[in-house]
Amino acid sequence: MMCNFIDSINLTKSHKEQVAEWCELVRRTQLLDPSKSLLNQADAEEYSHVVILGAGASRATLSHPAYRGHQIPVMNDFINLPEISELLKKQNIVLTNIEEIYCYLEEKGEWNTINELELIISNEIQNYYLPDEITIYDLLFLCLGPNDCILSFNWDSLLLQARDRVIAKLASASIKTKLPNFFFLHGNVTEGECQSDSEYGRMGKICGKCQRPFSPVKLIYPTSHKDYSSDFAIKNAWEAARYFMSKAMAVTIFGYSAPKSDVAAISLLEKAWGKPKERFFANFEIIDIKPHEELVCCWKSFVFSEHLQSAKDFYDSTIARFPRKTVEAALGNVSGRWIDSSPVSQTMSWDEVLEFLRPVLASNALKNRFGRTAQ
């Protein structure tokens, strides 16, 4: 039956051989231990779930009813800040798209204006904090495993705030586990680095080698020519991104619209991901409020034959429905022996989430596979 399925799909001979190898691996695993619902743990640990965050993810995180602050800006919202509106008015700029504004200023060589614009954005983005209640970013660290990776295009500190308090909450609940890896692809307002010693950490800390304070990591703004190699922290983040994308069995795009100014970034991710036909069994998912058809069109270079799942809410995503088992769920699609979902709920408190996830958190107390980990 599986062989007939392989013959029926539109793949080249080499790709069909790859699919056949997958199916045989699944079959052997089930014969050796029929009680297992999928591939064994060692097989699942060969793969990763990569989550790519855009500004929409931070906005969704601060949409929590308990949050009383003003809405965190996505890229084009920055032009509505009074300081930026005044700056653009002074420069007689009538453009309303922040990417177009950057390109215009670059072409004109208005570097002082660009520096002023970047300073306003950097100061603004530091004004946002998580509420006391558990949020989506907290759940990302709890629901993803130690071999998974969060890749963020966001400059805000919300992800780091979540990481810090998740570690504290786990310690308070006497839960020992490892958290997912995380990297900032466009820099972060809380990140610091020592270029001379190739070390990085939090701003306000010192380099462990030279004992000098960390310098701020340069943020990557929506310019037409982005430099991903000269800054140590950014270069390291992209090396990690390529590694994890190449190992991914599941990818979730959360609130990231792949703007035109990020064409170089998308190209790097595409190369690491490979040809869609070679990722036939991988789970590609998008969390976004846009129509499904629009998302398929936007991400078609990553997806084989429109094999894309979409969810309009984080709690409908595979991350929330299969906490710490998203790779196993994806592998289950290969075997045809699906695992039952065990979703976290938006109504759960911190204590309820930790108790609900305690068994799976304890079973994931493994060593992370790549350099930068959350714990």
Most confident of 26-35, 262-271, 299-308, 309-318: 309-318
Domain 41-68+130-185+220-363 has CATH 3.40.50: yes
Answer yes or no: are the C-beta atoms of 156 and 72 closer than 8 Å.
Answer: yes
Distance from C-alpha of 354 to C-alpha of 352, rounded to nearest angstrom: 6
The 10s digit of each residue's pLDDT in 143-174 is 999 999 999 999 999 999 999 999 999 999 99
Residues 6 or more apart whose Cβ sits within 8 Å of residue 28: none
Q: Count of residues for the chain? A: 375
pTM beyond 0.85 = no
Q: What is the pLDDT of residue 64?
A: 58
With the C-alpha atoms ordered 307, 310, 314, 316, is the resulting torsion angle positive or negative? Answer: negative
Partners of 285 in beta bridges: 252, 309
Most confident of 126-140, 258-272, 356-370: 126-140
Answer yes or no: are the C-beta atoms of 50 and 69 closer than 8 Å.
Answer: no
Q: What is the pLDDT of residue 24?
A: 54
Residue 60 Cα distances to 55, 136, 153, 288, 328, angstroms:
9, 8, 15, 10, 26
- Ranking 17-21, 42-46, 319-323, 326-330 by mean pLDDT, the lowest is 17-21
The 10s digit of each residue's pLDDT in 191-203 is 888 888 888 788 8
Residue 62's nearest CA partner among 80, 74, 50, 52 is 74
Q: By percentage, how much of the chain surpasses pLDDT 70? A: 80
* Paired sense of beta strands 48-53 and 181-184, if any: unpaired
The 10s digit of each residue's pLDDT in 253-304 is 999 987 777 888 888 888 888 887 777 778 889 999 888 888 878 888 887 7
The 10s digit of each residue's pLDDT in 240-256 is 999 999 999 999 999 99
**CB neighbours (10 Å) of residue 363?**
13
pLDDT category of residue 57 using cuts at 50, 70 and 90: very high
Residue 117's nearest CA partner among 223, 233, 191 is 223
Q: What is the pLDDT of residue 181?
A: 95
Mean pLDDT (whole number) for 2-8: 41
User: Chain-wide mean pLDDT for the chain?
Assistant: 81
Domain segments of the chain as ranges: 41-68+130-185+220-363, 75-125
Which ranges in the chain belong to alpha helices (H)?
2-8, 13-32, 41-44, 55-61, 82-90, 98-108, 111-125, 136-143, 158-172, 232-246, 263-273, 292-298, 318-321, 326-335, 350-363
- Ranking 164-178, 323-337, 345-359 by mean pLDDT, the lowest is 323-337
The 10s digit of each residue's pLDDT in 72-111 is 887 778 888 899 999 988 888 888 878 888 888 888 889 9
**CB neighbours (10 Å) of residue 314?**
24
**CB neighbours (10 Å) of residue 105?**
20
- Ranking 6-10, 233-237, 248-252, 282-286 by mean pLDDT, the lowest is 6-10
Is residue 370 over pLDDT 50? no
